[in-house]
Amino acid sequence: MKTIFENIVGSYTQRGDYLLPNLTLSDETENEIGVWGMRYKRYLKSNHRVLYYNFLTAGKLNNHLIDVDQRAQTLFEQTVKSLTEQERVTEKLKAENMMLWVRKMNNIRNRATEIVNKQVIYSRVGG
């Protein structure tokens, strides 16, 4: 009679009196997960544990986090670029009034972060 582990394509190796399962790591890619992917991981782990552990046990968590991170980074960069153009925050302003430029850029980056959080990080459950 086969065990549940053997029925789902598992096998055992006998070591002395013990049967040890033959476990291997998945072929999941090992890429760097950026700040957005880590933020999404924390969100999943604390608010959607079942989904988090489903991704983890299926060996798809890193790939999913990398995808979310790339989408979020792209949206962030596009949003910052768009807002700087709309508000005319240019290198000329930077040269003329550095403090005003820093305030405006910090404001734009904070708004872009909020947009990414709302549209990608805290709304991508299962996506």
Q: What is the pTM assigned to this prediction?
A: 0.74
What is the DSSP code (8-state) at residue 32? -
pLDDT digits (tens, 9 = 90+) for 80-127: 999 999 999 999 999 999 999 999 999 999 999 999 999 999 986 655
Tell me which of 65 and 18 has the higher pLDDT: 65
Residue 117, C-beta contacts closer than 8 angstroms, at least 6 positions apart = 39
pLDDT digits (tens, 9 = 90+) for 12-37: 788 888 877 776 665 555 678 999 99
- Do residues 37 and 68 touch, judged by C-beta distance below 8 A? yes
Q: What gap in Å lies between CA 42 and CA 64, rounded to an integer? A: 13
- Do residues 68 and 40 touch, judged by C-beta distance below 8 A? yes
pLDDT digits (tens, 9 = 90+) for 90-101: 999 999 999 999
Split at pLDDT 50, 70, 90, the class of 77 is very high
83: enclosing H helix or E strand: helix 61-86
Long-range contacts of 7-13 (CB under 8 A, 24+ apart): none
Split at pLDDT 50, 70, 90, the class of 1 is low
Q: What gap in Å lies between CA 77 and CA 17, rounded to an integer? A: 59
